[in-house]
Structure 1
């Protein structure tokens, strides 16, 4: 039995099962998504690695962790999902995990929590089996509590335009909010146009619906989408921890090898201090991210507060770590051949995704009794 929310027995350390899951995902990414392969792929026509995505979904089951076993999922939770996100962040793996396995899945799971729905269950089964990829049709910049896209519904015909939707370009299934209803739309029936993204490892696309047919699901669509955005923000914090850890580990290794004046650059005291400060930031960010993942898994009473704290902190730490990595790598860090620019771009894009730190702090203030 999971500990009660805010219980003193609550354990934010990684369990043995979570460590085994991490090892499996890390080994796969080391073999299939090392820096050279990711660099080569983002310069091509299709930046997402759909073969790697299918392996994650079908062979590892890493994309179906929070989906119930009765629907073909793993029956795990968001703690395990966060572990996968952390490893994907560490590799800036170009897979549609956030859009499909977190946002779209999160919306459908919340809808099922309101009551049974055969269409939602069938969609989750497709996602769990790796037979389909989904995207939640909201702008990637959507933040918890913020405005949602305005799509109109005339019966089951949907009309509207939603810009900058994560992973929509490779989705088979679109999860669309129209009015207060949540609809399933086959992506082939919509107009999906990729747009240039700062982060080439997480492409975005504009989705245009013009009397596009959809299937309405039961329950409150707005509540499901808002819950999914909160889940996405919480899981994104773990991805940002993975980004920051890669930046720190890689920078430390480089500074040990780089010599100036007959000494390793890493032996210079000023650089030691910068790295030590960054390490402390990452330790704090990891604790906040783990708290958010656990709150999502247990439905903690202070869930929203915990997620907002984690996201506002982890976004800043990931960006700081990436900036330090670029600077401390010197000239090589400014080249296109070195992967550090991918981490800087992912960190900056993640800072904007699902709400900026400033928006999260503004939303957090009234929840904890702070006034302007």
Structure 2
């Protein structure tokens, strides 16, 4: 995705949109979140093998499509609009991005083909509570004699992951599922569409991957910001569309509520926030594709705009739907939960502001 989508990207968006409406509508999303699983394995398999979404950014030599991160962003927009629970962010962005940014060919050859075909889930364990998740040098995880000890919080899809890439002050350590000393405790998240967990490692065997960990993780932070912003902007637009339609059919005092300023003005604000965010995301996507010096700054700005705009849009969606917007039966609260969680996931507003200041040299 650049400032203007290409024909191929429009076709991809159309294919994923049809898939979401046919195979993962909100009724299916509700069924998934009511189960113990954090995503539907069949949906993940079909997204990976039939549409090739999981392997979009993976080079052809590893079984992927050899497409760009911009192309993956196009798919993420459609998935984010429908709140579809998938491990795309964990596997195709965080884990894949980390392996591609490092220099460990053995790890790439082993895991990237499996990621591309959807037969393995990977994730990046980077967060450690209040500290900035991307400050690798400050990690409290300790590597000693081929083992790693420490705790990571809010790790996406950790319970389903076949491999975890754990950031430490010594570098990125690859830990496989079922390794001794590895404990994964699923968390009761506010967002019901994301599976997160706390990962505890106690002298857990792992392999330190080759490459500049700090540079790799910093690059992945840009990808994470762009990917999350894309999902959030699409969800913001979904909130806008949902509420606009409701304002046309809900009558008060004999008139549709959409004629009242108390409804029109918030909807106009949501549209303005979305339009600005969409432009920022397209700029960030183009900057990353071109390797621009401002890519990191652009991605952080897009994420900051997307997070704040989505929280406000989701809140207004609940309020403007009146009492029904607060009920379990309505989808508005699912977007609100997703917005609140996404606002702090992998670096909240303060962390994004710090990153923007850092990239500006302030």
Give the shorter-chain TM-score range: over 0.9
Q: 1:60: how far off?
A: 1.0
Partners of 2:324 and 2:72 in 1: CA distance:
34
1:170 to 160, 168, 177: 160
Residues 146/214 of structure 1: CA separation in 2 closer, same or farther (3 Å cut): closer
| Structure 1 SS opposite 2:174 | strand
| Structure 2 residue 245 is the aligned partner of structure 1 residue 253 | yes
- Alignment match, 1:315: 307
Q: 1:39: how far off?
A: 1.9
| Structure 2 SS opposite 1:188 | coil
Q: 1:161: how far off?
A: 1.7
More relative contact order in 1 or in 2 (CA 8 Å, sep 6+)? 1
User: Considering only aligned residues, what root-mean-square deviation do their CA atoms show, in Å?
Assistant: 1.9
Mean alpha-carbon deviation: is it higher for 279-288 or for 188-197? Answer: 188-197
Q: 1:279: how far off?
A: 0.8
8 Å contact kept, 1:180–1:220 = no
Partners of 1:17 and 1:140 in 2: CA distance:
39
2:125 to 133, 137, 142: 137
Q: Cα deviation per residue 1:263-293 (whole Å; 9 max; x = unaligned)? A: 1111223322221221111111001111122
Q: TM-score, normalised by structure 1?
A: 0.91
1:120 to 85, 108, 122: 108
8 Å contact kept, 1:18–1:83 = yes
| Structure 2 residue 188 is the aligned partner of structure 1 residue 188 | no
- Alignment match, 1:324: 316
Q: 1:15: how far off?
A: 1.1
- Alignment match, 1:7: none
Q: 1:145: how far off?
A: 5.0
Partners of 1:68 and 1:353 in 2: CA distance:
28
- Alignment match, 1:34: 25
Q: 1:366: how far off?
A: 5.0
| Structure 1 SS opposite 2:238 | helix
Alignment of 1:281-300 (within 5 A): 281-300=273-292
| Structure 2 residue 205 is the aligned partner of structure 1 residue 213 | yes
Residues 337/11 of structure 1: CA separation in 2 closer, same or farther (3 Å cut): closer
- Alignment match, 2:360: 368
- Alignment match, 2:227: 235
| Structure 2 SS opposite 1:192 | strand
Partners of 1:288 and 1:369 in 2: CA distance:
20
Residues 185/71 of structure 1: CA separation in 2 closer, same or farther (3 Å cut): same
Partners of 1:158 and 1:101 in 2: CA distance:
24
8 Å contact kept, 1:291–1:306 = yes
Q: How many residues align?
A: 358
8 Å contact kept, 1:140–1:354 = no
Gaps of 5+ in 1: 1-9
| Structure 2 residue 102 is the aligned partner of structure 1 residue 108 | no
8 Å contact kept, 2:141–2:151 = yes
Partners of 1:267 and 1:204 in 2: CA distance:
42
